[in-house]
Amino acid sequence: MNNTSFHSKINKSVLILSDFFTLCLSIFMAYYISTPDDFSLDMDQFIDSIIRLNLFLFTGIGVIFWIWVNYRHYAYRKPFWDELRDIYLTLFIASLINLALLVFIKNNFDILTWLYVWLNAVIFFPVSRILIKKMLRMCGTWDLNCVLIGDEKEALYGYKAISSEADLGYKITAILTQTTEGNFWKENGVNLITEQQLIGNLENYHKIFIALKHNQNELVESWVKKLSKLKFRNISVIPPLRGIGLYGTDVSHFFGYETIILRIQNNLAKRSSRFIKRIVDILLSSILLIILSPLFVYLILTIRKDGGEAIYIQKRVGRNGKIFPCYKFRTMRVDSYKILRNLLRENKKIRDEWNQNFKLKDDPRITPIGKFLRKTSLDELPQLWNVFCGDMSLVGPRPIIRQELKFYADDLAYYYMVRPGLSGLWQVSGRSDTDYETRVYLDSWYVKNWSFWNDIIILAKTVRVVLMGKGAY
């Protein structure tokens, strides 16, 4: 047995045991919190408690089995958010089954114990996974040496995608390509190798990624055949499918044919999806407006100290091209228009920056309180009213002005399909530190790959980005 196979068995065993231990911990903590005196009860009550405990343990074993067989977490690796979605869906279904069993077997079961068990599991399960993977990485068993084969452009794109999910443990240590980007690969610790070097040292690599262009199918087939003859079975092909919404696609296979069909899920075309998204916007925005009302009053009084209005209104382009008033706390001086006009007339560097981004990184128009508001993104809080009124959504593309429409070109149709967002994929991917082409790409990706789960991910990431203040100016 080679080291890679041995490490794989260690990883699988540790993950299974840690998941089971996490569920047991969730159960026993719930028992301790809700029924600390269970074991001082009379015999009948004690037996009832043991029956409930066994039902929880039985359901916990079912969770492990389902994750193992259906999602194959212990054999294959998934990106963090996909793995988390699988875990939460499994826990949700298991909790309902567990509730049904408790109701069927016991007439006087403790609903609080049931609730604590599954709330604990929702918190402990992902935390445990993260910590265990970090521990395995420190022990040297998690990270796997991988090779990337491909056309230079496709290989670079594939490398960035794989590297963006560090928890996968796929460490690209070698690349086989015709490249002019030698310095990039060298700086990132990736060795440029030849076909002979790959075949001669195949036992040193756990996985091979093949990322070739759409007209290189024969080359992909040749590599797969060659690696199969050498009994190398851990191969993944990265197909050139950029521009297509792939999230949640279904794959169909035809018996006897080397053909697959990808069923594209255009989720935002469904009325039910749009209805759910709108209901969530109304509920969350109304709750936040009520909770944050004292902060609104404080900021309004502070901003108005210079004699200007507290709320700044700018016309933005919304869904279906509709123009709407976008509200923000004013962060600039009252005479900001004159200052900008003079800057654009006198400074070519500032003029070029403005024409490219419609923003200035070191903007002399911003007030002291305005710098704080922008850094913390509190200046955008009034847009909660836009969300409540239906002009915007909690999550969506960045709201743009008319002058920016030209930058979207063919992707403008995607922008028009949804309401702009208070937060969005651009906002959690570097914000103002990203170039405009990347902004357009991220906005289009969001629309093409929309799902309620993706909105949850973006909102979760928004909290982290706002606290760090990265890319905000």
The alpha-carbon radius of gyration of the chain (Å, integer) is 27
Q: Are residues 222 and 209 in the same domain?
A: yes
In this structure, are 222 and 282 located in the same domain? no
Q: What is the pLDDT of residue 395?
A: 96
410/302 same-domain check: yes
3-class secondary structure, 245: coil
Q: Is the same domain home to 303 and 437?
A: yes
- pLDDT number for residue 36: 55
| pLDDT of 375 above 80 | yes
Interhelix angle 452-468/271-291, rounded to 10 degrees, is 30
| Arithmetic mean of pLDDT over the chain | 86
| 261 within domain boundaries | no
Quote the pLDDT of residue 41.
52
Look at residue 388 and tell me if it is in a domain. Answer: yes
| Angle (nearest 5°) at CA 130 between 124 and 135 | 120
214-237: average pLDDT: 86
Between 252 and 74, residue with greater pLDDT = 74
Indicate whether 154 and 118 sit together in one domain: no
**Domain holding 153: CATH number?**
3.40.50.720
On whether residue 177 sits in a domain, the answer given is yes
- Reported residue count of the chain is 473
pLDDT higher than threshold 50 for residue 1: no
End position of a domain, from candidates 199, 224, 240: 240
pLDDT grade, residue 399 (50/70/90)?
very high
**CA-to-CA distance for 129 and 200, rounded, in angstroms?**
36
Same domain, 287 and 394: yes
Let me know: does 392 contact 421? Beta carbons within 8 Å.
yes
DSSP string, 287-342: HHHHHTHHHHHHHHHHHGGGSS-SEEEEEEE-GGG-EEEEEEE--B-TTHHHHHHH
Q: Among 190, 218, 240, where does a domain finish?
A: 240
Whether residues 61 and 129 fall in one domain: yes
Kindly state whether residue 36 falls inside one of the protein's structural domains.
yes
Q: What is the pLDDT of residues 99-121, one digit of tens each?
A: 988 888 765 667 888 999 999 99
Predicted TM-score (pTM) of this structure: 0.84
CA distance 73 to 66: 10
Question: Are residues 184 and 158 part of one domain?
Answer: yes
Summarised one tens digit per residue, pLDDT across range 175-222 is 998 766 668 888 888 999 989 999 999 988 999 999 878 777 888 888
pLDDT at 241: 81
The more confidently predicted of residues 197 and 468 is: 197
Residue 67 belongs to a domain: yes
pLDDT tens, residue by residue, 44-78: 666 777 778 888 889 999 999 999 998 889 988 99
**Of 106, 139, 172, which residue sits at a domain end?**
139
Same domain, yes or no, for 188 and 279? no
Q: Look at the block and give the residue holding tokens 């309620």.
A: 452
Read off the pLDDT band of 409 (50, 70, 90).
Answer: confident
Short-list 49, 162, 63, 172, CA closest to 102: 49
Q: How confident is the model at residue 473, as a pLDDT?
A: 53
| pLDDT tier, 470 (very low <50, low <70, confident <90, very high otherwise) | low
Q: Are residues 305 and 182 in the same domain?
A: no
pLDDT: which is higher, 238 or 247:
238
What's the whole-number mean pLDDT along residues 335-348? 74
Q: What is the pLDDT of residue 426?
A: 87
Query: Higher model confidence: residue 325 or residue 1?
Result: 325
Answer yes or no: do 14 and 134 share one domain. yes
Residue 359 counted as domain residue: no
> Is the model more confident about 472 or about 298?
298
Tell whether 294 is covered by a domain.
yes
The C-alpha atoms of residue 348 and residue 353 are separated, in whole angstroms, by 9
Domain residue limits at 193: 144-240
- d(CA 463, CA 177) in angstroms, rounded, equals 40
Domain count for the chain, please give it.
3
Q: Is residue 456 part of a domain?
A: yes
| Dist. CA 209–CA 234, nearest whole Å | 9
* Interval 398-426 mean pLDDT: 91
Whether residue 424 sits in one domain with residue 280 = yes
